[in-house]
Amino acid sequence: MLWRVILASHVIFTAYGFWLPNDPRGSWSYFVGSWELFRFGKATTVNTTASRAHFAHSTQARLAAKTALSRPPVQFTGAQAVSIAFGFASAVEESKYVVHACCIPPEHVHMVIRDHPRPVRRIVGHLKTAAARQLRSDSAEKVWARNCWAVYLDSPSDIQRAIRYVENNPIKECKRKQSWSLVTPFPGWCPRVASDAAKHSRLAASLATRVVCSQTQSTGFAIGVSIGRRHCRCSRQCSSSRCG
């Protein structure tokens, strides 16, 4: 059994109209909900988590599809980026998220977020809501596309690499690096790694012993670690303390 403890996540979420479900570079969408947009092709679903931003494609076809949107694609101004950062900061303070990197280009957002009891996609939803609330107070329209793209990071070197990517992202667009007060510098190590490694070693050793589920009186195994937490995959609901 190989344990994977998630330490942080690199997330990307986009403004309305930035990345369409039938983008010729591929998307994580399974359908196109607009008939006008569907005329430019069905969803170009891909399963890879690798960036497709620089994948060879027809720029003309991609831009033509955007003409079918119900309103123009959103591009953040500098003032809106500041408002978005204020919204993010309020969510970070409210739920004690730890953000190790953040950049807000005109059409999307990059963040590196330390693991948190709340699932990362709910964190992104919270960040979007807080930013949208701030933008509404500045008389802005709805700006976010649905969902997000997330890559889980399970080592300090992964986190450092993602931070460098996020910090250098504006430079690719010939812009200056960004600095936001909501960011907590990454110390280069994760305090929980050593304790988690010891805990998982003990748990792995216990897998050799069958567990009797107290409710079902059937045998099963306590298996699985996801986002740094343990889950029971017994076939029925189990209240055994071993399955936790």
Domains and CATH numbers, the chain: 8-18+73-172 (3.30.70.1290), 192-230 (no CATH)
**How many angstroms separate the CA atoms of 18 and 63, rounded?**
10
pTM value is 0.67
The per-residue pLDDT string of the chain (244 residues; one tens digit each, 9 = 90 and over) reads: 456 788 999 999 988 777 667 677 767 676 666 767 667 777 777 776 666 666 777 777 777 777 767 778 888 999 999 999 999 999 999 999 999 999 999 989 999 999 999 999 999 999 999 999 998 866 556 788 888 888 899 999 999 999 999 999 998 888 889 999 999 999 987 665 545 555 555 555 555 444 444 444 443 333 333 334 333 334 334 444 334 3
- CA-wise closest residue to 117 among 101, 93, 94, 97: 97
DSSP-assigned beta bridge partners for residue 150: 11
- CA-wise closest residue to 42 among 29, 52, 55, 53: 29
Q: Any residues with CB less than 8 A from the CB of 76 and at least 6 apart, and which?
A: 15, 84, 104, 105, 106, 107, 143
**How many angstroms separate the CA atoms of 244 and 234, rounded?**
11
